[in-house]
Amino acid sequence: MLLIGCAEPAAEQPESGSEAGTQTSPETDTGTDADDATEPAAPEADDPEASPDSDAPPFGTESRGSYDAPWALEFLPGGEQMLITSRYGELFLRGTAETDASEDLSVAGLPEDIVVDGQGGLGDVVAAPDFEESRRVYLSWINSSEAGTGAVVGHATLVDSEDSAELQDLTIIWEQDPKTSGSGHFSHRLAFSPDGEQLFVTSGDRQQLDPAQDLDSGLGKVMRLTPEGEPFPENPFAEDGDVTEEIFTYGHRNPLGIDFDAEGQLWVSEMGPEGGDELNLLEAGENYGWPEASNGSQYSGAEIPDHTEGDGFAPPAAWWTPSISPGSLMIYQGEMFPDWSGSAFMGALSGEALVRVELDGDQAGEEELWEMGARIRDVEQAPDGSIWIIEDGDGAELLRLTPPE
Protein backbone atom coordinates (compact mmCIF):
# COMPACT_ATOMS: atom_id res chain seq x y z
CA MET A 1 0.00 0.00 0.00
CA LEU A 2 1.24 3.48 -0.79
CA LEU A 3 1.29 5.51 2.40
CA ILE A 4 0.68 9.23 2.02
CA GLY A 5 0.81 11.47 5.05
CA CYS A 6 0.57 15.11 5.97
CA ALA A 7 2.48 17.02 8.58
CA GLU A 8 -0.42 17.44 11.02
CA PRO A 9 -1.08 15.69 13.22
CA ALA A 10 2.34 14.14 13.75
CA ALA A 11 0.86 11.23 15.68
CA GLU A 12 -0.69 9.83 12.48
CA GLN A 13 2.72 9.19 10.95
CA PRO A 14 4.04 5.64 11.30
CA GLU A 15 6.77 5.25 13.84
CA SER A 16 10.26 4.05 13.10
CA GLY A 17 13.24 3.40 15.28
CA SER A 18 14.95 6.14 17.23
CA GLU A 19 18.45 5.58 15.91
CA ALA A 20 19.45 7.40 12.72
CA GLY A 21 21.51 5.56 10.15
CA THR A 22 24.99 6.98 9.67
CA GLN A 23 25.89 5.67 6.22
CA THR A 24 24.13 5.00 2.97
CA SER A 25 24.52 1.79 1.05
CA PRO A 26 27.24 1.37 -1.61
CA GLU A 27 24.48 1.77 -4.21
CA THR A 28 23.63 5.19 -2.84
CA ASP A 29 27.26 6.21 -2.52
CA THR A 30 27.84 5.66 -6.22
CA GLY A 31 24.77 7.58 -7.26
CA THR A 32 22.75 4.60 -8.45
CA ASP A 33 19.86 4.49 -6.00
CA ALA A 34 16.22 5.11 -7.00
CA ASP A 35 16.98 8.81 -7.42
CA ASP A 36 19.32 8.17 -10.33
CA ALA A 37 18.09 9.16 -13.76
CA THR A 38 19.46 5.99 -15.32
CA GLU A 39 18.11 3.42 -12.86
CA PRO A 40 14.92 1.37 -13.16
CA ALA A 41 12.05 1.82 -10.75
CA ALA A 42 12.68 1.11 -7.08
CA PRO A 43 11.59 -2.36 -5.97
CA GLU A 44 8.72 -1.07 -3.86
CA ALA A 45 7.21 0.77 -6.82
CA ASP A 46 7.26 -2.48 -8.84
CA ASP A 47 5.30 -4.35 -6.18
CA PRO A 48 1.63 -4.53 -7.27
CA GLU A 49 0.61 -4.18 -3.64
CA ALA A 50 2.55 -0.90 -3.47
CA SER A 51 0.63 0.72 -6.33
CA PRO A 52 -2.79 2.19 -5.51
CA ASP A 53 -5.79 1.46 -7.69
CA SER A 54 -6.50 4.38 -9.96
CA ASP A 55 -9.15 5.25 -12.52
CA ALA A 56 -8.29 6.28 -16.05
CA PRO A 57 -6.46 9.63 -16.01
CA PRO A 58 -8.81 12.62 -16.40
CA PHE A 59 -6.82 13.97 -19.31
CA GLY A 60 -5.90 13.14 -22.86
CA THR A 61 -2.28 12.72 -23.91
CA GLU A 62 -0.70 13.85 -27.14
CA SER A 63 2.89 12.96 -28.07
CA ARG A 64 5.08 15.84 -29.20
CA GLY A 65 8.30 13.98 -29.94
CA SER A 66 11.03 12.16 -28.03
CA TYR A 67 14.43 12.97 -26.54
CA ASP A 68 17.38 11.17 -24.99
CA ALA A 69 17.92 11.77 -21.27
CA PRO A 70 15.80 14.93 -21.02
CA TRP A 71 15.96 16.79 -17.72
CA ALA A 72 14.03 20.07 -17.86
CA LEU A 73 11.33 21.88 -19.82
CA GLU A 74 10.88 25.66 -20.00
CA PHE A 75 8.22 27.58 -21.92
CA LEU A 76 9.44 30.93 -23.15
CA PRO A 77 7.23 34.01 -22.75
CA GLY A 78 4.70 34.24 -25.53
CA GLY A 79 4.05 30.51 -25.51
CA GLU A 80 5.31 29.78 -29.02
CA GLN A 81 8.71 28.32 -28.07
CA MET A 82 10.15 26.07 -25.41
CA LEU A 83 13.58 24.87 -24.28
CA ILE A 84 14.44 21.27 -23.40
CA THR A 85 17.68 20.21 -21.72
CA SER A 86 19.29 16.80 -22.02
CA ARG A 87 21.49 15.48 -19.25
CA TYR A 88 23.94 14.46 -22.00
CA GLY A 89 24.78 18.14 -22.52
CA GLU A 90 22.34 19.23 -25.22
CA LEU A 91 19.81 22.07 -25.31
CA PHE A 92 16.94 22.16 -27.80
CA LEU A 93 14.75 25.07 -28.86
CA ARG A 94 11.45 24.09 -30.44
CA GLY A 95 8.01 25.43 -31.22
CA THR A 96 5.00 24.42 -29.18
CA ALA A 97 2.46 24.05 -31.99
CA GLU A 98 1.54 20.53 -33.07
CA THR A 99 3.18 21.12 -36.44
CA ASP A 100 6.49 21.92 -34.69
CA ALA A 101 7.00 18.38 -33.36
CA SER A 102 10.10 17.76 -35.51
CA GLU A 103 11.40 21.32 -35.79
CA ASP A 104 14.00 21.21 -33.00
CA LEU A 105 17.00 23.51 -33.13
CA SER A 106 20.13 22.34 -31.33
CA VAL A 107 21.36 25.33 -29.35
CA ALA A 108 25.07 26.13 -29.71
CA GLY A 109 27.27 27.88 -27.16
CA LEU A 110 26.71 25.51 -24.23
CA PRO A 111 29.35 25.16 -21.50
CA GLU A 112 32.35 23.12 -22.58
CA ASP A 113 32.98 21.69 -19.11
CA ILE A 114 29.73 19.74 -18.56
CA VAL A 115 30.41 16.50 -16.65
CA VAL A 116 27.98 13.72 -17.66
CA ASP A 117 28.25 11.04 -14.98
CA GLY A 118 25.68 9.31 -12.76
CA GLN A 119 23.02 11.91 -12.00
CA GLY A 120 25.25 14.67 -13.37
CA GLY A 121 25.09 16.55 -16.65
CA LEU A 122 23.18 19.52 -18.02
CA GLY A 123 20.29 20.27 -15.68
CA ASP A 124 17.71 22.98 -15.34
CA VAL A 125 16.83 25.90 -17.61
CA VAL A 126 14.63 28.91 -16.78
CA ALA A 127 13.91 32.14 -18.59
CA ALA A 128 14.86 35.36 -16.85
CA PRO A 129 11.91 37.41 -15.55
CA ASP A 130 12.76 40.08 -18.15
CA PHE A 131 13.36 37.56 -20.94
CA GLU A 132 11.27 39.43 -23.51
CA GLU A 133 13.68 42.35 -23.27
CA SER A 134 16.97 40.68 -22.29
CA ARG A 135 16.63 37.23 -23.98
CA ARG A 136 18.51 35.91 -20.93
CA VAL A 137 18.21 32.30 -19.79
CA TYR A 138 19.66 30.58 -16.73
CA LEU A 139 21.18 27.10 -16.85
CA SER A 140 22.55 24.64 -14.29
CA TRP A 141 25.08 21.91 -14.98
CA ILE A 142 27.82 19.83 -13.36
CA ASN A 143 31.52 20.57 -13.72
CA SER A 144 34.64 19.36 -11.94
CA SER A 145 37.82 20.51 -10.27
CA GLU A 146 40.61 18.85 -8.32
CA ALA A 147 38.23 18.75 -5.34
CA GLY A 148 35.56 16.77 -7.20
CA THR A 149 32.31 17.58 -8.95
CA GLY A 150 29.57 20.07 -8.20
CA ALA A 151 26.69 22.03 -9.66
CA VAL A 152 27.08 25.46 -11.20
CA VAL A 153 24.58 28.04 -12.45
CA GLY A 154 25.14 30.47 -15.29
CA HIS A 155 23.23 32.86 -17.48
CA ALA A 156 23.50 33.61 -21.19
CA THR A 157 21.69 35.44 -23.97
CA LEU A 158 19.60 33.27 -26.31
CA VAL A 159 19.92 34.35 -29.93
CA ASP A 160 17.84 32.47 -32.49
CA SER A 161 16.59 32.65 -36.05
CA GLU A 162 14.50 30.32 -38.19
CA ASP A 163 17.35 27.84 -38.67
CA SER A 164 19.82 28.39 -35.80
CA ALA A 165 20.05 29.11 -32.08
CA GLU A 166 22.99 30.04 -29.88
CA LEU A 167 23.84 31.04 -26.32
CA GLN A 168 26.07 34.09 -26.12
CA ASP A 169 28.03 35.65 -23.24
CA LEU A 170 27.66 32.64 -20.95
CA THR A 171 28.64 33.66 -17.40
CA ILE A 172 28.87 31.44 -14.30
CA ILE A 173 27.21 33.15 -11.33
CA TRP A 174 27.11 30.39 -8.67
CA GLU A 175 29.00 27.21 -7.75
CA GLN A 176 28.05 24.48 -5.31
CA ASP A 177 30.42 24.66 -2.35
CA PRO A 178 32.12 22.40 -1.55
CA LYS A 179 32.75 20.20 -4.54
CA THR A 180 33.08 16.58 -3.57
CA SER A 181 33.47 13.04 -4.92
CA GLY A 182 30.56 11.03 -6.24
CA SER A 183 27.95 11.60 -8.93
CA GLY A 184 24.65 11.94 -7.10
CA HIS A 185 22.28 14.36 -5.35
CA PHE A 186 23.31 17.55 -7.12
CA SER A 187 19.66 18.74 -7.24
CA HIS A 188 20.37 22.15 -8.98
CA ARG A 189 16.77 23.11 -9.77
CA LEU A 190 16.10 26.82 -10.32
CA ALA A 191 13.17 29.15 -9.61
CA PHE A 192 12.65 32.91 -9.66
CA SER A 193 10.44 34.66 -7.12
CA PRO A 194 7.29 36.27 -8.54
CA ASP A 195 8.88 39.72 -8.25
CA GLY A 196 11.88 38.53 -10.30
CA GLU A 197 14.37 39.79 -7.72
CA GLN A 198 15.29 36.46 -6.07
CA LEU A 199 16.81 33.35 -7.66
CA PHE A 200 16.45 30.12 -5.69
CA VAL A 201 18.81 27.17 -6.29
CA THR A 202 18.38 23.72 -4.73
CA SER A 203 21.66 22.19 -3.57
CA GLY A 204 21.54 18.48 -2.71
CA ASP A 205 23.49 16.78 0.04
CA ARG A 206 25.72 14.98 -2.51
CA GLN A 207 25.01 11.76 -0.57
CA GLN A 208 27.21 13.06 2.24
CA LEU A 209 24.31 13.31 4.79
CA ASP A 210 25.79 15.37 7.67
CA PRO A 211 26.66 18.53 5.67
CA ALA A 212 22.92 19.13 5.28
CA GLN A 213 22.94 20.21 8.96
CA ASP A 214 26.18 22.20 8.71
CA LEU A 215 25.65 25.91 8.04
CA ASP A 216 29.28 26.21 6.93
CA SER A 217 28.52 23.88 3.98
CA GLY A 218 26.46 24.63 0.89
CA LEU A 219 25.24 21.03 0.60
CA GLY A 220 21.73 19.98 1.55
CA LYS A 221 20.40 23.53 1.26
CA VAL A 222 18.15 25.82 -0.75
CA MET A 223 20.05 28.97 -1.69
CA ARG A 224 18.58 32.43 -2.30
CA LEU A 225 20.56 34.69 -4.63
CA THR A 226 20.16 37.86 -6.62
CA PRO A 227 19.76 37.44 -10.41
CA GLU A 228 23.52 38.06 -10.68
CA GLY A 229 24.37 35.32 -8.18
CA GLU A 230 25.12 37.40 -5.09
CA PRO A 231 23.68 36.29 -1.73
CA PHE A 232 20.27 37.90 -1.30
CA PRO A 233 20.80 40.62 1.33
CA GLU A 234 17.80 39.58 3.45
CA ASN A 235 18.86 35.94 3.82
CA PRO A 236 18.49 34.52 7.37
CA PHE A 237 22.24 34.04 7.88
CA ALA A 238 23.41 37.01 5.82
CA GLU A 239 25.77 38.27 8.55
CA ASP A 240 27.73 35.01 8.73
CA GLY A 241 29.61 35.45 5.42
CA ASP A 242 31.02 32.87 3.01
CA VAL A 243 28.63 30.20 1.74
CA THR A 244 26.43 30.56 4.83
CA GLU A 245 25.06 33.91 3.66
CA GLU A 246 23.55 32.22 0.57
CA ILE A 247 21.41 29.81 2.63
CA PHE A 248 17.63 30.18 2.68
CA THR A 249 16.74 26.78 4.24
CA TYR A 250 18.71 23.70 5.25
CA GLY A 251 18.34 20.04 6.23
CA HIS A 252 17.50 18.86 2.70
CA ARG A 253 18.48 15.59 0.98
CA ASN A 254 17.82 15.80 -2.76
CA PRO A 255 15.31 18.56 -3.59
CA LEU A 256 14.53 18.09 -7.29
CA GLY A 257 11.45 20.27 -7.60
CA ILE A 258 10.82 23.91 -6.68
CA ASP A 259 7.98 26.31 -7.50
CA PHE A 260 5.92 29.21 -6.17
CA ASP A 261 2.17 29.12 -5.63
CA ALA A 262 -0.22 31.96 -6.47
CA GLU A 263 0.15 33.35 -2.95
CA GLY A 264 3.91 33.69 -3.35
CA GLN A 265 4.74 30.73 -1.10
CA LEU A 266 7.73 28.58 -2.09
CA TRP A 267 7.39 24.79 -2.21
CA VAL A 268 10.00 22.07 -2.73
CA SER A 269 9.61 18.37 -3.55
CA GLU A 270 12.36 16.23 -2.14
CA MET A 271 13.52 12.63 -2.45
CA GLY A 272 13.79 10.77 0.81
CA PRO A 273 15.98 7.70 1.30
CA GLU A 274 14.03 4.41 1.27
CA GLY A 275 10.63 6.02 1.69
CA GLY A 276 10.00 9.43 3.18
CA ASP A 277 9.74 11.47 -0.03
CA GLU A 278 8.51 14.95 0.91
CA LEU A 279 6.62 18.02 -0.22
CA ASN A 280 7.77 20.98 1.86
CA LEU A 281 6.63 24.57 2.27
CA LEU A 282 9.79 26.63 2.71
CA GLU A 283 10.22 29.30 5.38
CA ALA A 284 13.41 31.35 5.65
CA GLY A 285 15.92 29.89 8.09
CA GLU A 286 14.00 26.66 8.77
CA ASN A 287 15.67 23.27 9.22
CA TYR A 288 13.90 20.42 7.38
CA GLY A 289 15.61 17.67 9.31
CA TRP A 290 17.77 15.60 6.98
CA PRO A 291 19.54 13.37 8.04
CA GLU A 292 18.36 13.67 11.65
CA ALA A 293 14.67 13.19 10.85
CA SER A 294 12.90 11.47 7.96
CA ASN A 295 9.81 9.32 7.49
CA GLY A 296 11.98 6.90 5.52
CA SER A 297 14.84 4.55 6.35
CA GLN A 298 18.42 4.24 5.18
CA TYR A 299 19.07 1.84 2.29
CA SER A 300 21.21 -0.16 4.70
CA GLY A 301 18.07 -0.83 6.76
CA ALA A 302 19.09 1.54 9.55
CA GLU A 303 16.17 3.50 10.93
CA ILE A 304 15.92 7.28 11.10
CA PRO A 305 13.70 9.07 13.63
CA ASP A 306 10.41 10.14 12.08
CA HIS A 307 9.36 13.77 12.05
CA THR A 308 7.53 14.38 15.34
CA GLU A 309 5.97 17.45 16.89
CA GLY A 310 8.50 19.43 18.89
CA ASP A 311 11.60 17.80 17.42
CA GLY A 312 12.91 21.18 16.22
CA PHE A 313 12.56 20.40 12.51
CA ALA A 314 10.01 21.67 10.00
CA PRO A 315 7.78 18.68 9.09
CA PRO A 316 6.74 17.92 5.51
CA ALA A 317 3.34 19.06 4.30
CA ALA A 318 2.98 15.65 2.61
CA TRP A 319 5.15 12.54 2.42
CA TRP A 320 5.25 9.18 0.65
CA THR A 321 6.29 5.71 1.77
CA PRO A 322 7.07 3.63 -0.31
CA SER A 323 9.02 6.06 -2.43
CA ILE A 324 7.62 7.68 -5.53
CA SER A 325 10.90 9.57 -6.22
CA PRO A 326 9.62 13.05 -7.14
CA GLY A 327 11.91 14.47 -9.80
CA SER A 328 10.12 17.77 -10.40
CA LEU A 329 7.44 20.13 -9.10
CA MET A 330 4.94 22.45 -10.81
CA ILE A 331 2.14 24.35 -9.08
CA TYR A 332 -0.71 24.75 -11.55
CA GLN A 333 -2.14 28.24 -12.09
CA GLY A 334 -3.79 27.79 -15.49
CA GLU A 335 -7.40 27.82 -16.68
CA MET A 336 -7.56 24.69 -18.86
CA PHE A 337 -8.00 22.49 -15.75
CA PRO A 338 -9.97 24.84 -13.44
CA ASP A 339 -10.54 22.19 -10.74
CA TRP A 340 -6.78 21.83 -10.35
CA SER A 341 -5.94 25.49 -9.86
CA GLY A 342 -3.39 25.78 -7.05
CA SER A 343 -2.51 22.06 -7.03
CA ALA A 344 1.05 20.79 -6.90
CA PHE A 345 2.07 18.36 -9.65
CA MET A 346 5.10 16.10 -9.37
CA GLY A 347 6.68 13.76 -11.87
CA ALA A 348 7.41 10.46 -10.13
CA LEU A 349 10.51 8.57 -11.27
CA SER A 350 10.43 5.21 -9.46
CA GLY A 351 6.66 5.64 -9.10
CA GLU A 352 6.26 6.03 -12.90
CA ALA A 353 3.36 8.38 -12.34
CA LEU A 354 2.03 11.91 -12.35
CA VAL A 355 1.07 12.97 -8.83
CA ARG A 356 -1.32 15.79 -7.91
CA VAL A 357 -1.54 17.28 -4.41
CA GLU A 358 -4.22 19.82 -3.59
CA LEU A 359 -2.84 22.82 -1.69
CA ASP A 360 -4.86 25.02 0.64
CA GLY A 361 -2.80 27.85 2.07
CA ASP A 362 0.08 26.16 3.90
CA GLN A 363 -1.62 22.75 4.01
CA ALA A 364 -1.50 19.78 1.65
CA GLY A 365 -4.83 18.05 1.09
CA GLU A 366 -6.32 15.59 -1.40
CA GLU A 367 -3.87 13.58 -3.49
CA GLU A 368 -4.20 11.70 -6.77
CA LEU A 369 -1.70 9.45 -8.56
CA TRP A 370 -2.03 8.53 -12.22
CA GLU A 371 0.15 5.70 -13.50
CA MET A 372 1.94 6.73 -16.69
CA GLY A 373 3.92 3.55 -17.43
CA ALA A 374 7.23 5.43 -17.51
CA ARG A 375 9.48 7.42 -15.22
CA ILE A 376 8.45 11.08 -15.35
CA ARG A 377 11.35 13.52 -15.25
CA ASP A 378 9.71 16.95 -15.52
CA VAL A 379 6.26 18.56 -15.57
CA GLU A 380 5.45 22.12 -16.66
CA GLN A 381 2.44 24.31 -17.34
CA ALA A 382 2.21 25.83 -20.81
CA PRO A 383 0.99 29.41 -21.24
CA ASP A 384 -2.31 28.07 -22.67
CA GLY A 385 -2.93 26.08 -19.48
CA SER A 386 -2.10 22.64 -20.87
CA ILE A 387 0.24 20.44 -18.83
CA TRP A 388 3.37 19.05 -20.46
CA ILE A 389 5.41 16.18 -19.09
CA ILE A 390 8.55 14.51 -20.30
CA GLU A 391 9.62 10.98 -19.52
CA ASP A 392 13.05 9.93 -18.27
CA GLY A 393 15.80 8.03 -20.10
CA ASP A 394 16.62 7.53 -23.76
CA GLY A 395 13.77 7.85 -26.25
CA ALA A 396 11.71 9.65 -23.61
CA GLU A 397 8.41 11.01 -24.86
CA LEU A 398 7.29 14.61 -24.55
CA LEU A 399 3.55 14.61 -23.82
CA ARG A 400 0.92 17.37 -23.81
CA LEU A 401 -2.00 16.79 -21.44
CA THR A 402 -5.40 18.36 -22.08
CA PRO A 403 -8.93 17.76 -20.72
CA PRO A 404 -10.60 14.69 -22.26
CA GLU A 405 -12.96 15.39 -25.11
**What is the 3 state secondary structure string of the chain?**
CCEEEECCCHHHCCCCCCCCCCCCCHHHHCCCCCCCCCCCCCHHHHCHHHCCCCCCCCCEEEEEEEECCEEEEEECCCCCEEEEEECCCEEEEEECCHHHCCCCEECECCCCCCCCCCCCCEEEEEECCCHHHHCEEEEEEEEEECCEEEEEEEEEEEEECCCCEEEEEEEEEEECCCCECCCCCCEEEEEECCCCCCEEEEECCCCCCHHHHCCCCCCCEEEEECCCCCECCCCCCHHHCHHHHHEEEECCCEEEEEEECCCCCEEEEEECCECCEEEEECCCCCECCCCCCCCCECCCCCECCCCCCCCCCCCCCEEEECCCCECCCEECCCCCCHHHCCCEEEEECCCCEEEEEEEECCEEEEEEEEECCCCEEEEEECCCCCEEEEECCCCEEEEEEECCC
Q: What is the CA radius of gyration of the chain?
A: 20
Q: For residues 122 and 294, what is the distance between their CA atoms, to the nearest angstrom?
A: 29
Q: Which residues contact 8 (CB under 8 A, 6 or more apart)?
A: 315, 363
- The answer to whether residue 185 is catalytic is yes
Residue of 298, 300, 269, 264 lying closest to 284 (CA atoms): 264
Q: Which residues contact 214 (CB under 8 A, 6 or more apart)?
A: none
Q: Which of 185, 188, 252, 307 is catalytic?
A: 185
Q: Known catalytic residues? A: 185
